[in-house]
Structure 1
Amino acid sequence: MKKALWVLCVGLLLLKCQQKSHDSEEETDLPRLEEGYFLDEDDRENLDFSTTTDTIGELEKSLINAGLVNIKEVIPGIFVELKYSSTDNFFGQDVYEDLENAYLQPQVAEKLKVSYDWLKKNHPDLTFLIYDGVRPRRVQQILWDNLDKPDSLKPLYVADPKRGSLHNYGVAVDLTLADAETGEPLDLGTSYDYFGYPAYPDREDQMLREGKITKAHVEGRKILREAMRRGGFSGIGSEWWHFDAFSRREASEKFNIVE
């Protein structure tokens, strides 16, 4: 009799503990998905199964549908500050609207990962800060129309939309070096989209002699160029921040222009 009573008491105690645990879970208002736990009908109705694509803008959806990849998904350790998604650019207009992520062709993103890995190995305190990736041709037209230069000089800074830019193919990237902890960009002598000889890699020796840039600026640019070279990128003569993953011929053979 005593044994039966003892078993009954233990059973009641366990039942009470289970009820208390269940009540505690209900107070959190969050369904548990642990092993052995089954959602009831109310829990299932309260779950939100919407995907991130429901919250992104039309421009970003079009880039994803075109097969491009978000660079931060390939290289989480970089920073992104799209200059054309703000008014901090040479013509003071936001033409990317709510786009905040930089996109590239998958092959180009993998090349950039090689460059990033070299940079982290050799300069662990540095990372990349991306200013622009793929640029739809319709945005290229806006840049072309707003560039206050003679048509004969415009191609030095912005490719003619009729021909298409390597940015339009998603195989060019604009970037700089930044502090790996804060994302603060290094001073490399000029701002992004600076139109003048101090931004020209081809004129660095002259600009040094004239005191327009410093040795520290050039050393930083050399680190950036070496990192990008390791990934198979090539620079251009008029912009220290611009790098191409493929030639125009290769890009046109491999990819379509993003309109």
Structure 2
Amino acid sequence: MKGMMRFVLILMSVCTLSCSSTSQEGKKLVSGINPELIKFNYSQVSSTEKYLRSLGLVDIAKHDSSIVIDLKYATSDNFTGVILYIEIGNAYLHPLAMEKLCKASQILNNENSELRLLIYDAARPLSAQKRMFEVVQGTKYQAYVANPSRTGLHNYGMAVDLTICDENRVPLDMGTPFDYFGKTAGINDEDLFVSQGLLTREQVNNRRLLRRVMQESGFIAIRGEWWHFNACSLSEAQRIAKLIE
């Protein structure tokens, strides 16, 4: 109960701050918040993570230790400025998605042993999706967040948001940050953006490397977000996986 009251107070503060936040395209929803990496104490597995495991989801780091985890919604370092994952500090996926991710990691390692996959988001409880939607509801960012009344692939552990980092865990330059709300986050017009000076050729090549290793592993890219990949269709996910409440 105390945790819920704390979240409500944080949410009220965020909503107040968002009214005065910048309207510039691609900026974070909330400005003026120090994105400290504040996390739950994971010395023991939380009840929420036990629930994820009970659904058959698997911990990414335990299956491939070379994959780097930076779960953005478990911290305030995300576009809302709010910790959305309560008692979740590890990234989980459905076994089908995990198998494909391990394959992608191996392909990348075979090509360049100094590069690693870096995970920003994976399985997402519907409860967290609702909190996310509440923060953006009524703002211009609402279109970028799936309405929780319609489940998405993250809610089945069948989608992953990620990038590539070097051996020092420094992300490669992809031209925009993760969860950037602007046209240059899309993948369809990258060559045009290069000609317009909005992206560099190196940034586009980095994106294409990410897409190639993911698509060769069976993932599906989406046109609006260079970082998002689906392990299957939504209909297949609904057929073979359990909804993460």
Q: 2:165 aligns with which of 178, 182, 187?
A: 178
Q: Could you tell me how far apart the structure 1 residues matched to 2:102 and 2:138 are?
A: 35
Q: Deviations over 1:165-199 (max 9, x none)?
A: 100010000000001x2211111111110000111
Assess if the C-alpha contact under 8 Å between 1:84 and 1:132 holds in 2: yes
Match of 1:110 in 2: 99
Give the deviation of 1:97 after TM superposition.
3.2
Match of 1:77 in 2: 66
Match of 2:24 in 1: none
Q: Could you tell me how far apart the structure 2 residues matched to 1:149 and 1:138 are?
A: 19
Match of 1:212 in 2: 198
Q: Could you tell me how far apart the structure 1 residues matched to 2:218 and 2:136 are?
A: 30
Match of 1:234 in 2: 220
Q: 1:245 aligns with which of 226, 231, 234?
A: 231
Using a 3 Å threshold, how does the CA distance of structure 1 residues 54 and 92 change in structure 2: closer, same or farther? closer
Give the deviation of 1:140 after TM superposition.
0.8
Assess if the C-alpha contact under 8 Å between 1:74 and 1:110 holds in 2: no
Q: Could you tell me how far apart the structure 2 residues matched to 1:234 and 1:159 are?
A: 18
Q: Could you tell me how far apart the structure 2 residues matched to 1:248 and 1:97 are?
A: 25
Give the count of matched residue pairs: 204
Match of 2:153 in 1: 166
Give the number of the structure whose residues are more often helix, by fraction: 1
The two structures, once aligned, show a CA RMSD in angstroms of 1.8
- Deviating above 3 A after TM superposition, structure 1's stretches of 4 or more consecutive aligned residues are 148-151
Match of 1:90 in 2: 79
Match of 2:118 in 1: 129
Give the deviation of 1:99 after TM superposition.
2.2
Q: Deviations over 1:130-156 (max 9, x none)?
A: 0000000011111222226668x745x
- Specify every segment of 5 or more residues in structure 1 that has no aligned partner in the other structure, as ranges: 1-52
Match of 1:63 in 2: 52
Using a 3 Å threshold, how does the CA distance of structure 1 residues 148 and 163 change in structure 2: closer, same or farther? closer
Give the deviation of 1:54 after TM superposition.
8.1
Sequence identity of aligned pairs in percent? Answer: 40
Q: Deviations over 1:3-46 (max 9, x none)?
A: xxxxxxxxxxxxxxxxxxxxxxxxxxxxxxxxxxxxxxxxxxxx
Q: Could you tell me how far apart the structure 2 residues matched to 1:150 and 1:87 are?
A: 19
Q: 1:222 aligns with which of 201, 205, 208?
A: 208
Assess if the C-alpha contact under 8 Å between 1:233 and 1:244 holds in 2: yes
Q: Could you tell me how far apart the structure 2 residues matched to 1:90 and 1:201 are?
A: 20
- Specify every segment of 5 or more residues in structure 2 that has no aligned partner in the other structure, as ranges: 1-41
Give the deviation of 1:75 after TM superposition.
0.9
Q: Deviations over 1:89-143 (max 9, x none)?
A: 1110001134221000011101111111111111221110000000000111112
Q: 1:141 aligns with which of 118, 130, 134?
A: 130
- TM-score (norm. length: structure 1): 0.75
Give the deviation of 1:202 after TM superposition.
1.6
Secondary structure at the residue paired with 2:223?
A: coil
Match of 1:47 in 2: none
Secondary structure at the residue paired with 2:120?
A: strand
